[in-house]
């Protein structure tokens, strides 16, 4: 696979430190990515055929609700998508004495809260580690809503297989593969994220959301998301991928010797430029109440204001939109002509 823009190992590095102590599917060209088993089917509840002008205008409106750490609820193209949820206890990678992180604001938000009407149409998981594939949360979700469709990386298969109550409708996407989201006219393309292991290991996933009725006209996606600002530049360039909204961290998180947990700053600027973003939504996935031995050695590099300045120099037409945890961020996107 082509070299990523950074040697970042993201939260996978933290995880290794702790360890030591109904669906149509389409494949994009993916460089030399290995071939893997086919995705499991996901039901399609609605079709984009015959979409009216007013419906199309509504679908160009995106609503993003940040749930802290790496968790979101997105409303995209008529679908409500729950992303990387942590809704049951803290984030501790199974070793709370070493690292134990709690949300600062949405401490009491739980699984039943996000399942209340209007509920969610899809669960989207980017990576296989606990800060994205949170086993305690997934166990509660699967018990309460076993038919909730799931789209995820194949790397998360062992975690999902170990749940006491399994999800019944799971699609595993390799980078370069895509699937239709049940709930309303959205195609989800998996993009290469970080490699959390040896170089030959399958990368984790980022994702781009497309409106189905637009995809044949233009490769312009609605939303791009990769939660640690790790991406394969050659993949994005080869597919000529674009995204109106880029969700990414912008402040780096580092361990001693510049061991990167989360990238950002100039890497986030380059990502926004590659995708020709109109809006950048910065994540604050390191803004937690944390304790444990590792908290003393995790440092940050850069600021949101520094990123804003770099973005203005490189991509002056892009706007920076700050999400407030628990408060929907409404984005009205320009219509394609």
Give residue 182's pLDDT: 62
* Inside any domain, residue 334: no
Domain holding 242, by residue range, is 10-33+40-45+52-322
Alpha carbon distance 69, 286 (integer Å)? 7
Give 260-303 pLDDT, tens digit per residue: 778 889 999 999 999 999 999 999 877 777 777 777 778 888 89
Beta bridge partners, 73, equal 65, 82
Q: Where are the beta strands (DSSP E) in 84-147?
A: 100-102, 122-124
Give residue 36's pLDDT: 37
Taking Cα atoms as reference points, which of 189, 194, 191, 190 lies closest to residue 4? 194
> Helix 304-314 crosses helix 266-274 at what angle (to 10 degrees)?
40
Give 183-231 pLDDT, tens digit per residue: 558 999 999 998 877 787 899 999 999 988 755 545 689 999 999 999 9
Give residue 219's pLDDT: 62
Give 119-162 pLDDT, tens digit per residue: 999 999 999 988 899 999 999 999 999 999 999 999 999 999 99
Q: Between β-strands 79-83 and 122-124, what pairing exists: parallel, antiparallel or unpaired? A: parallel
Residue 74's alpha-carbon distances to 63, 96, 205, 249, 291, in angstroms, are 6, 30, 17, 17, 30
Give residue 135's pLDDT: 94
* Inside any domain, residue 57: yes
* Inside any domain, residue 3: no
Phi and psi of 214, rounded to 5°?
-100, -20
Tokens 């995820």 — which residue? 152
* Inside any domain, residue 242: yes
Residue 96 or 324, more confident:
324
Phi and psi of 192, rounded to 5°?
-70, 130
pLDDT of residue 118 exceeding 70: yes
Q: What is the total count of domains within the chain?
A: 1
Phi and psi of 171, rounded to 5°?
-115, 125
Give residue 54's pLDDT: 53
Taking Cα atoms as reference points, which of 133, 95, 109 lies closest to residue 295? 95
* Inside any domain, residue 4: no
Q: Which two tokens stand for residue 330?
A: 């409404």
Give 70-92 pLDDT, tens digit per residue: 999 999 988 999 999 999 987 77
Torsion over CA of 162, 165, 171 and 172, rounded to 10 degrees? -10
Query: Sign of the C-alpha dihedral, residues 223, 227, 229, 232?
Result: negative
Decide: helix, strand or coil at residue 73: strand
CATH number for position 288: 3.60.15.10
**Helix (H) or strand (E) segment spanning residue 214:** helix 212-215
* Inside any domain, residue 5: no
Alpha carbon distance 202, 195 (integer Å)? 7
* Inside any domain, residue 327: no
Q: What is the pTM of this model?
A: 0.82
Q: How confident is the model at residue 107 (pLDDT cuts 50, 70, 90)?
A: very high
Give residue 16's pLDDT: 43
Residue ranges of alpha helices (H) inside 4-44 are 10-20
Give residue 148's pLDDT: 97
Mean pLDDT of the chain: 81
Give 25-71 pLDDT, tens digit per residue: 554 444 333 333 333 223 334 444 445 555 555 567 899 999 998 99
Alpha carbon distance 304, 248 (integer Å)? 12
Query: Sign of the C-alpha dihedral, residues 228, 233, 237, 238?
Result: negative
* Inside any domain, residue 2: no
């Amino acid at each position: 696979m082509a070299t990523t823009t950074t040697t970042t190992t993201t939260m996978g590095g933290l995880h290794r430190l702790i360890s030591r102590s109904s669906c149509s599917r389409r494949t994009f060209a993916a460089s030399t990515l290995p071939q893997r088993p086919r995705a499991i089917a996901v039901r399609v509840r609605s079709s984009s055929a015959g979409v009216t002008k007013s419906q199309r205008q509504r679908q160009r409106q995106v609503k993003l609700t940040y749930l802290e750490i790496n968790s979101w609820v997105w409303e995209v193209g008529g679908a409500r998508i729950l992303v990387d949820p942590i809704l049951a206890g803290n984030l501790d990678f199974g070793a709370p004495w070493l690292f134990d992180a709690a949300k600062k604001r949405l401490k009491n938000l739980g699984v039943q809260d996000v399942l209340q009407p209007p509920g969610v149409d899809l669960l989207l998981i980017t990576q296989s580690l606990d800060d994205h594939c949170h086993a305690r949360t997934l166990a509660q979700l699967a018990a309460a809503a076993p038919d909730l469709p799931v789209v995820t990386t194949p790397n998360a298969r062992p975690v999902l297989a170990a749940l006491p109550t399994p999800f019944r409708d799971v699609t595993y996407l390799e980078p370069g593969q895509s699937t239709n989201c049940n709930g309303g006219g959205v195609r989800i393309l998996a993009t290469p994220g970080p490699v959390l292991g040896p170089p030959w290991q399958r990368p984790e996933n980022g994702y781009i959301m497309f409106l189905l009725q637009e995809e044949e006209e233009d490769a312009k996606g609605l939303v791009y998301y990769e939660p640690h600002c790790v991406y394969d530049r050659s993949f994005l360039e080869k597919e000529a991928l674009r995204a109106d909204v880029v969700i990414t961290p912008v402040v780096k998180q580092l361990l001693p010797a510049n061991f990167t947990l989360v990238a950002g700053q100039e890497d986030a600027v380059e990502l926004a430029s590659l995708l020709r973003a109109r809006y950048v939504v910065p994540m604050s996935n390191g803004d937690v109440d944390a304790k444990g031995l590792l908290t003393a050695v995790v440092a940050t590099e850069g600021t949101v204001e520094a990123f804003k300045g770099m973005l203005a120099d490189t991509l002056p037409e892009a706007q920076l939109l700050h999400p407030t945890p628990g408060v929907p961020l409404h984005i009205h996107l320009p219509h394609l002509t």
